[in-house]
Amino acid sequence: MEGTTTPGERPTFLTVLCILSFIGGLWGAYTGFSSAFTDKPQRDLEEAQAKIEEARATMGDQGGLAERMMEEGIAAAEQGVVNAKPLGIASLVLSLVGLVGVWMMWNLKKLGFGIYTAASVLGMVVPLFILDFSMVTLLGLGIGGLISVIFIILYAVNLKHMH
């Protein structure tokens, strides 16, 4: 029967999920390291501020929602730079912990699901204790959180293949 696996054999769907998670986890670890231990956040802020000023010059003085969103975006980016080291360290550590969980699920160990889920949930919650509750922060965490929840659900569907 197609689509079935023998005990101890990792299904293709789980393999694909793990590979995607390895890529995401490595990217999270890299960006966490960059945020915590380089001047990248400051350079990114300066670039964003220049682009915002260009947009303002193009739009003129219209005010409104777009202007408020740009202001909130800059304020959130400035706060991100101020808190880059703790955010980066948290991202680095949680990404590495999540990678351990993915590795365990790759090897069909159920415990990996719990480790991955804990790291993912903490990855959504920890920034809320470091950053202010702005619309931009919540939007960014919401998008990342949605992806995390989807992966947690997809891994949960595959728990039957793990021991």
Distance (Å, whole) CA 159 – CA 163? 8
Of the two residues 49 and 121, the one the predictor is more confident about is: 121
Confidence of residue 63 (pLDDT cuts 50, 70, 90): low
pLDDT for res 49: 80
pLDDT for res 162: 96
- The average confidence (pLDDT) of the chain is 88
| Number of other residues whose CB lies within 10 A of the CB of residue 42 | 11
116: pLDDT strictly greater than 80 = yes
Of the two residues 67 and 104, the one the predictor is more confident about is: 104
Distance (Å, whole) CA 71 – CA 73? 5
pLDDT for res 4: 59
Q: List b or e across 48-74, with b for residues whose CB sees 16 or more CB atoms inside 10 angstroms.
A: beeeeeeeeeeeeeeeeeeeeebebbb
pLDDT for res 159: 97
Of the two residues 125 and 65, the one the predictor is more confident about is: 125
Nearest Cα neighbor of 92 from 41, 145, 28 is: 28
86: pLDDT strictly greater than 50 = yes
pLDDT for res 133: 74
